[in-house]
Amino acid sequence: MEKLPFQLKGLAAAVYTPFKSNGDINFGVISEYIDYLVKDGVQNAFICGTNGEGISLTFQERKEVAETWKHENNGRLKALVLHVGSGGIRETQELAAHAEKVGVDAIASGPPYGVKPRNLEELALYLQKVASCAPTTPFYYYHLDMNNSVKFGDMEDFIDILQQIPIPTFCGIKFTSKDLAELARCCRHPAGYQIASGHDPLLLPALAAGANVFISGTANFQGKLFSGIMDAFNGGDLQTATKLYDQLLKHSNIMRKYGPGVALGKAVTKLARFDPGPPRSPLRPVTKETEAMLKNDLQKIGFFESIN
Amino acid sequence: MEKLPFQLKGLAAAVYTPFKSNGDINFGVISEYIDYLVKDGVQNAFICGTNGEGISLTFQERKEVAETWKHENNGRLKALVLHVGSGGIRETQELAAHAEKVGVDAIASGPPYGVKPRNLEELALYLQKVASCAPTTPFYYYHLDMNNSVKFGDMEDFIDILQQIPIPTFCGIKFTSKDLAELARCCRHPAGYQIASGHDPLLLPALAAGANVFISGTANFQGKLFSGIMDAFNGGDLQTATKLYDQLLKHSNIMRKYGPGVALGKAVTKLARFDPGPPRSPLRPVTKETEAMLKNDLQKIGFFESIN
Amino acid sequence: MEKLPFQLKGLAAAVYTPFKSNGDINFGVISEYIDYLVKDGVQNAFICGTNGEGISLTFQERKEVAETWKHENNGRLKALVLHVGSGGIRETQELAAHAEKVGVDAIASGPPYGVKPRNLEELALYLQKVASCAPTTPFYYYHLDMNNSVKFGDMEDFIDILQQIPIPTFCGIKFTSKDLAELARCCRHPAGYQIASGHDPLLLPALAAGANVFISGTANFQGKLFSGIMDAFNGGDLQTATKLYDQLLKHSNIMRKYGPGVALGKAVTKLARFDPGPPRSPLRPVTKETEAMLKNDLQKIGFFESIN
Amino acid sequence: MEKLPFQLKGLAAAVYTPFKSNGDINFGVISEYIDYLVKDGVQNAFICGTNGEGISLTFQERKEVAETWKHENNGRLKALVLHVGSGGIRETQELAAHAEKVGVDAIASGPPYGVKPRNLEELALYLQKVASCAPTTPFYYYHLDMNNSVKFGDMEDFIDILQQIPIPTFCGIKFTSKDLAELARCCRHPAGYQIASGHDPLLLPALAAGANVFISGTANFQGKLFSGIMDAFNGGDLQTATKLYDQLLKHSNIMRKYGPGVALGKAVTKLARFDPGPPRSPLRPVTKETEAMLKNDLQKIGFFESIN
C-alpha cells in the first residue's frame, strides 16, 4: 500500500465527459483536453463526478472512460481521481476494483444513488465494503450537499465514526457543500484527513476556513485565475487574492444567471477551449440563443482575457 | 401494438428480490414466491422497484431477474410490470428494450437516479426517450414522492404536459405519494390514465379518492386482507371495509414502530411465507432480537391469523 | 369543568376576518357572515386561524374579534373555536385567559410562531402552559403541516406523549395535513381524541380514513356541498358522495390554478356571499383581472348553482 | 434624515433579554450587561432578535425593553439596533414607530412570523410598509436562513428588487445564513449596502468573503477574541487571525455538542459574565448536569482565559 498516505496537491479539475453529437463518448478529444488543463496549471483531474456525468454513463462506458484518461494522460496530470459511485453496491465495488487495476491515483464514492443509508453509520459500513475492493487505492468520500442530494449529517461526526468503522484507504473528503463552518471543523479534526473544497464561488472564504485543496468545475477553463487566488492567499497577499476573487465572482454571477450546471459549463468550455459536446438527457444543451448571450456576457466581464 | 390500451386489474405485489446469505440472487425461490402470491389472490407483480432493490442490482442481474420472473411465472400472475429505471438514460433504455424482448406486460420508470431533470418538461422528454426503446410495451411513470426522493411537481400538471410531449405507450402512474388530493385529481383527468396507488396504509382513503388499482408491498404477505378491503369497498360495504382497514392499520403501526422499509418487509415475509434473505447494503437485515420482538407484536394483533 | 368532554359536531367554517378597504377590521359584517354560514348548514366557526389571519391581527384586535363573534353569534352557530396561538407564550396565555372570560366554546393553539420547540415533548410542555390559563375551556392542538410550517413529528406520537404530559382540557387535534395515514392512526388511538380534518380537497378520503369532523375554508361558501358529502358518506351512499366530491374537486382545481390561499378565498367569498374585504400585507388582494377570470371559471363549473 | 447614510462600525452583540426566575424581564441587570460588553470592546447591540427572544416578549414588553436599553446605555455602546419584526404587519409598524420615538440608531425586520410573503417582491412591499413608519431611522433586513426559517430567495436578487420597490431608509442586511458565496456577491453589489454577517463560526471565512461588520451571539462573552480576529485579518496578519479562529472554533464545537441556541448561550453567559436567567418556553434552561459538563468542557479549551 505504498500509495498511502496520499495527498492531492494543487488544483483538480472536475472534468466533463466529452460526447459526440450522437451522444456517444468522444474519446478522441481527451488528450487535447488534458493539454488545456496542464497549460492552465491544473494538476489533477476528478473524473466521472457530477461534472463528468458519471452516473449517466453505462457500466461499460465508465470503465472505458477510466482506461482512456489513464492511458491518454500518461503522467501529464499529477493525479487522476475516479468517482466510482453508482446506483448500488455491487457495481460500485466492481468499478472500484477496476479502478485499482487501471491504476488511477485515487477513487471517490458517496452513498449509492438508489437505496440510501439511513445514518452515518450505515454510510460508513457501505463505503467500507466499497473501498475494500480497491485495497491499495486511496479513497475519498464524495460529500455532495447540494442539488437535491440528501445530506448525511455532519462530516465531523462522520470522521468520528470512521474511527469505529475504519476504512484503511480513507484519505479525505471531496466536500461539495456551502457549509464552511463544517469544513473548517473538519480541516481541524485530529484525524488529519484532506478536505477538498468543491464549491467554486467559495474559493477565497474556503481558503480562509482552512481548505488547501480544491476540486473545481471552473478549473476546466479558469485554472489560471483559480491558481492565482490560491497562490496569492498562500503567499499572504490578501489584496491580490481578493482582487482576483472579484473576477471569479463576476464569472459565478453569469453562471448563476443562466442556471449553473453541466450544460452551461460545457457551453463555456466550448467558447473557451474546445467543444466537449452536448450533455446527456435529462440535461439539455444550451440553445444557440443562450450561447450567444452567454458569450456576450463573458466578453463584458473580461472572461476571455482572464483565461489566456 | 396490440397490448394497448393496457389496464392493470386487481392487486399487484411490489415484490422483493430474494437473496442468498452471500448476497447473490436466490433465483430458486421465485416460483414458490409466485405460488404464495397467487394463493393470496394477488394478480400482478411489480418487479425491481424499491421493494425489489432494483437499483441495487447490477445491470446484468436486472436482466436475469426479468427473464426469471417471466419464465417462472408462466402465466400464473396475470401481469408482470418491470421497473427499468436506473442511474442514467442509456442503461434505462437498454433495460426497456430488453424488457420488451423478454415479454413483460408493462414497464415503469421514474427520473434517473443520478442527474435530475429540472422540471416536468425535462422529465417528460427523458421518459419519452426511454419508452421509445420498448415501443409496444405499456409504460407507467414511477412517481415516488417519499423516502427522500425528489418530488417533480404535480402529477396532474405532468399529465397535461404529456399532451404536448406524447409517449404513445403511456398507460398510467404508479403513484407512491401520500397526497390523495393530487391522486383524486389525477384519477379524474380526462386523459383517462390509470393511477395505481402505492402507499399501503392509505388503502381505504385512496379507494375513496378514486384509485382502483394498487401496487402494494403489504401484498407480499397480506394479499387477502388487501383484496378484502377492495372488494368490500367496491361492493359498497363500507362497514366491512373499515373493519378490515383497522386490521391493516394495526400492521402498519408495527411497521412504523420498527422503521418501515425493505429490511423489515423481508423479515415479515420470512415469518409469514418464505425466507427472501437479507437486503443488500446499505440496508441491513433486522437483528435476531428485532425479529423476535416483531414476531411477538405480530402475534398480538392477530397478524398470522389474518394472512391464512 | 362542565364543558368537558367536549366534541365538535358537524361542520366548522374556518372563517375570514373581514377588513375595510383601509385595513381596519370590519366588525359590522360579522352578523351577516354568520347568517350565511347558518343558512348553509355550517354549525361552528374556527376563528383567527390561518384563514382568519389571526397572527396578522394585533393583540388588542384579537380580543375584540373574539368578543364580537361571541356577541354577534348569540347562539346561532353551535360552537365557536378560537385560535389563540401567537408569536410567544405570554400573549398566547393571555389570549387563552381572555377567551375563557369571553366564553368561547373551545380554543386552539399550535407551537409559537417565533421560537420553535425542538421536539414533541417541548411542544407538549409549551401547550400545557397555554391551556392551563383557560382551565375550563376545551383545547385543540392546531397541527399545521403545510404552507412552509414546521412539522412536529407524528401526531400519534404526540398523543402518546400527552399521556405523560397531561393537558386536562385537551379535546383533539385540528389536523391540517395531507397525511391521511397519520390521521387514520390518530382516529384509532385509544385516547379517543377528536381529529378534525382541515384540508378540504381531501374531504371524502378523510371520511374514509375515519375523520368525522371538519374545519374547512371551503365551508365559507360551500357548506351545503360539504355537508352533502358528509351526509351521503355517513348514510352509506358512496355513489352520491363521490358525485358531490367530483364537484368539490372541480372547485379545488380552480383554487389551485390561481394559487390557493386567503386572498383567493376572500375573492370567492365576495363573488359568492358578501365582501370580506382585502387581506392584510404581506398578502395582496387578487387583481380585478384575476377576479374576472375567477368568476368566469367558477361559472363554467356550475359553482354558483352548487352554492344556492 | 440626518442619520442616513448609516453604517454600523465594529462588532455588535446580539444581546439576550435577561429574565428573572419567575419569567419576568430582569431590567435591573441591563446596565451591568452593557458594562461587560463595552469592556470587551463590543461597540453595538442588536436587541430583541433571535438571541433576545424578541418574538417571545409581549408587545408591551418589547417597548419597555427598547426604552430600557436606550436609557441604560446612555451612549456607552455606539449604536443600538432594535429588531421590530413580529407576527404581523400592524404590530411591527407600531414597534417601528415606537423605536423611532425612543431614538434607537437603527431597526431591523424580516418577514412576518405568521403569514409569509410568497416571493421577494411581496417581501419588499411588506418591508416598505414597515420602514415607512420610522421614516428617519436606518433599516436593516433581517435575513434568517437557518433554524427552520423560510429562505426568501437570493439576497442579491432582493437588493435588485429594492431598486424597483425603494425603501429610503434601507441600510443593509443582517445576513444570518451560511451561504458565503451569496454574502460575497451581496458585498460586491453596486448598491453598496452593508452586509452584516450573523453566523459566528464563519467569522474568518466571512471576512475573506468581504463582510466587514458582524452581529454576533458569541460577542456576549467573547468580544475580545472576536475583535482580535477582525483586527488581525484587517491588518493583513492571517497567521494570527487563523490562530485565534482556531480558538473560536473550539468554542463552537462545544456549543454544537450541547445543541446550539439561546438556552446554551445564556448558560455560558452565566458562567462567563452575569446571570441572564432562564429563557422563555418553549425553550428550556440547561440542567444543572449540563451546566457542570459545559463548564468542564469550557475549562479544557481555555475558554475562561480567552475571555479575560
Query: A134-148 pLDDT, tens per residue?
Result: 999 999 999 987 654
Cα separations (Å) of A22 from A50, A280, A289, B114, B129?
A: 21, 10, 21, 21, 14
**Upstream peptide bond of A5 is cis (omega within 30 degrees of 0):** yes
Q: What is the pLDDT along chain B (308 residues), one digit of tens a residue?
A: 445 678 999 899 999 999 999 999 999 999 999 999 999 999 999 999 999 999 999 999 999 999 999 999 999 999 999 999 999 999 999 999 999 999 999 999 999 999 989 899 999 999 999 999 999 999 999 998 765 455 678 999 999 999 999 999 999 999 999 999 999 999 999 999 999 999 999 999 999 999 989 999 999 999 999 999 999 999 999 999 999 999 999 998 899 888 768 999 999 999 999 999 999 999 999 999 999 999 999 999 999 998 88
Cβ D155 vs Cβ D173: under 8 Å: yes
Asked if C85 and C142 count as a contact pair (C-beta separation under 8 A), the reply is yes
In Å, how far are A110, A214, C44, D264 from A149, measured between CA atoms?
11, 20, 45, 31
Q: Name the DSSP class of A19.
A: B
Give the long-range contacts of residues B194-201, CB within 8 A, separation 24 or more.
Answer: B194/B7, B194/B8, B194/B140, B195/B155, B196/B8, B196/B12, B196/B140, B196/B172, B198/B14, B198/B174, B199/B146, B199/C181, B200/B226, B200/B248, B200/B252, B201/B248, B201/B249, B201/B252, B201/C181, B201/C184, B201/C185
ipTM of the prediction: 0.95
Q: Cβ–Cβ of D115/C284 closer than 8 Å?
A: no
For residues D43 and D9, the answer to whether their CB atoms sit within 8 Å is yes
CA gap A42, B159 in Å, rounded: 47
Could you tell me the three cell numbers for D156?
442579491
| Residue from A183, A215, A185 nearest D180 by CA | A183
Cβ atoms within 10 Å, residue D98? 20
Residue D216 · residue D230 · CB < 8 Å = no
DSSP string, chain C: -TT-S----SEEEEPPPPB-TTSSB-GGGHHHHHHHHHHTT--EEEESSTTTTGGGS-HHHHHHHHHHHHHHHTTSSSEEEEE---SSHHHHHHHHHHHHHHT-SEEEE-S-SSSPPSSHHHHHHHHHHHHTTSTTS-EEEEEE-STTPPP-S-HHHHHHHHTTS--TTEEEEEEESS-HHHHHHHHT-TT--EEEE--GGGHHHHHHHT--EEEESTHHHHHHHHHHHHHHHHTT-HHHHHHHHHHHHHHHHHHHHT--SHHHHHHHHHHHT----PPPTTS-PPPHHHHHHHHHHHHHTTHHHHT-
D175 vs D173: CA distance, rounded Å = 5
Cβ–Cβ of D185/A252 closer than 8 Å?
yes
Taking only the tens place, the pLDDT of each residue in C38-97 is 999 999 999 999 999 999 999 999 999 999 999 999 999 999 999 999 999 999 999 999
Share of chain A above pLDDT 70, in %: 96
Residue type, D239: Q
Helix (H) / strand (E) element for B47: namely strand B44-47
Neighbour-count burial of C192, counting CB atoms closer than 10 A to its CB (0-12 exposed, 13-18 middle, 19+ buried):
exposed
Cell digits for D205? Answer: 471565512
- Inter-chain contact D252–A181, Cβ cutoff 8 Å? yes
Contact across the interface for B58 and A113, Cβ inside 8 Å: no
Chains C and A touch (3+ CB pairs under 8 A): no
- pLDDT average, residue stretch C104-124: 94
- The single residue listed with the C-alpha cell 417471466 is B70
For chain B, report the end-to-end CA distance as a whole number of angstroms. Answer: 40
Q: Is the pLDDT of residue C281 over 60?
A: yes
User: Which residues, at least 6 apart from A140, have a Cβ–Cβ distance to it below 8 Å?
Assistant: A81, A106, A107, A108, A171, A172, A173, A174, A194, A196
Report whether B195 contacts B172 (CB < 8 A).
Answer: yes
Nearest CA to D265 out of D253, D251, D250, D255 is that of D255
Q: Residue D19 has what pLDDT?
A: 98
Which helix (H) or strand (E) segment holds residue D81: the answer is: strand D79-83
**pLDDT of amino acid C259:** 76
Which three three-digit cell numbers place residue C68? 364580537
Please report which residue ranges of D168-261 form alpha helices under DSSP H. Answer: 180-187, 203-209, 219-234, 238-257
Q: What is the DSSP letter of D51?
A: T
Q: Which amino acid is at A62?
A: R
Please check whether residue D82 is in contact with residue D103, taking contact to mean a CB–CB distance below 8 angstroms: no
Residue of B nearest to C257 (CA): B157
Give the list of residues 6+ apart from residue B35 with CB closer than 8 angstroms, or none: B76
Cell numbers given for A270: 466550448
Query: Which amino acid makes up residue A34?
Result: I
Q: How far apart are CA C12 and CA C45, in angstroms?
A: 5
D78 is catalytic: no
Helix (H), strand (E) at residue B243: helix B238-257
User: Does residue B174 have an active-site annotation?
Assistant: yes
Whether omega before B117 lies within 30 degrees of 0, making that bond cis, reads no
Host H or E run for residue D84: none
d(CA D45, CA D15): 6
* CB of A122 closer than 8 Å to CB of B282: yes
CB-based contact B89 A55, cutoff 8 Å: no
Low-confidence spans in chain D with pLDDT less than 50: 1-2, 148
Find the CB nearest B282 among A116, A280, A282.
A116
Residue A294's CB is within 10 A of a number of other CB atoms, namely 21
- Whether residue D175 contacts residue D158, with contact meaning beta carbons closer than 8 Å, is answered with no
What does chain B come to in residues? 308
* Binary contact (D53, C88; C-beta < 8 A): yes
**Average pLDDT, integer, range A277-285:** 96
The residue among A130, A171, A208 whose CA lies nearest residue A1 is A171
- Residues of C near D (Cβ–Cβ under 8 Å) read 23, 50, 53-59, 61, 86-91, 94, 111-118, 122-123, 125-126, 129, 147-148, 150, 259, 262, 280-284
What pLDDT digit, counting tens, does each position of A210-220 carry?
998 999 999 99
Chain C residues whose beta carbon lies within 8 Å of the beta carbon of residue D129: 281
Angle at C281 between CA C277 and CA C285, to 5 degrees: 40
Nearest CA in chain C to D125: C282
Query: Bigger pLDDT: C107 or A253?
Result: C107
Euclidean distance between CA atoms A43 and C13, whole angstroms: 67
Name which of C53, C89, C113 is nearest D113 (Cβ-Cβ): C113
What is the C-alpha separation between A285 and A267, in angstroms, rounded? 8
Q: Residue A283 carries which DSSP code? A: S
What are the chain B neighbours of A89 within 8 Å (beta carbons)? Answer: 56, 280-282
Size of interface C-D (CB pairs under 8 A): 121
Predicted pLDDT of residue B1: 45
The answer to whether A304 and A254 are in contact (CB under 8 A) is: no
C and D adjacent (3 or more CB pairs under 8 angstroms): yes
Q: Residue A118 has what pLDDT?
A: 87
How far is Cα C290 from Cα C286, in angstroms, rounded to an integer?
6
A233: Cα separation from own chain's centroid: 21
Provide the pLDDT confidence category of residue C1 given band limits of 50, 70 and 90. Answer: very low
Distance, in Å, from the CA atom of B171 to the CA atom of C228, rounded to the nearest integer, reads 34
Q: Give the helix ranges, DSSP H, for B14-88.
A: 30-39, 59-73
Going by pLDDT thresholds of 50, 70 and 90, the confidence category of residue A151 is: low
Write the CA distances from A118 to A157, B114, B290, C286, integer angstroms: 15, 19, 17, 44
Q: Burial of B206 by CB count in 10 Å (0-12 exposed, 13-18 middle, 19+ buried)?
A: buried
Query: Cell numbers of C132, please?
Result: 392551563
Beta bridge partners of B106: B81
